Amino acid sequence: MHCPFALSLTLVSWGAQALEIERAEARFAEKRFSFELIATLDAPIDRIDAVLKDYASYPALDARILESRVLERPAPGEVMLFTALRACLGPFCRSVKRVERVQEQVHELHASTLPEQSDITYGETFTQLSNAGQRTRLIYRTTVSPDLWIPRFVGRRLMLNTLRDATLNVFGNIEKRAAEVPQEIVVPPSEAAALPP
């Protein structure tokens, strides 16, 4: 079974910012829900990267996230991340806990859910950033299989819509937060020499 839900809009506005969408598609296949987003965010790459790696602040990016914390950093560039979120399917809501192993690289994240410590039987998320002038191009792919029964027709459609809408909302908030980060004041060397010690 394959159920694609492609987003037809090319521009989604979030206040003063605009998330320019090249591709946004949610699908259900092989008992897994997936979402792919290719978009351009209106903020520099290093700021977007910093917001993505500020794990403790995830609840501020998504009202569904109840808690987010780093459990440990077992190796350089590796994070064990715990999140608890409020997952709703129509009027039915429950708390879902997840532990992920996050591999950090330059402008790239790859997260794998540990099913034995999570309410999710499978989860993989890939995030890649690249420069687009003063903006940032994003490639984001996530696949998840929740450890709960979802009704075949209406439930799957609701889940796909929720996955799409929540992801777009999160990246809209990431873009907004990154754009609000104050720029560092850079003093040219010639001017710095004239400043008092």
Q: What's the average model confidence in pLDDT over 150-178?
A: 84
Model pTM score:
0.80
Tell me whether residue 82 is in a domain.
yes
Tell me whether residue 163 is in a domain.
yes
Tell me whether residue 109 is in a domain.
yes
Tell me whether residue 195 is in a domain.
no
pLDDT, one tens digit per residue, over 96-137 is 999 999 999 999 999 999 999 999 999 999 999 999 999 999
pLDDT, one tens digit per residue, over 3-12 is 333 333 334 4
What pLDDT shows up at residue 14?
A: 40
Structural domain count, the chain = 1
Tell me whether residue 114 is in a domain.
yes
What pLDDT shows up at residue 12?
A: 44
Tell me whether residue 193 is in a domain.
no
Give percent above pLDDT 70 in the chain. 77
CB contact set of 2 (below 8 Å; sequence gap of 6+): 27, 28, 29
pLDDT, one tens digit per residue, over 36-50 is 999 999 999 999 999
Domain span holding position 109 = 5-181
CATH code where residue 9 lies: 3.30.530.20
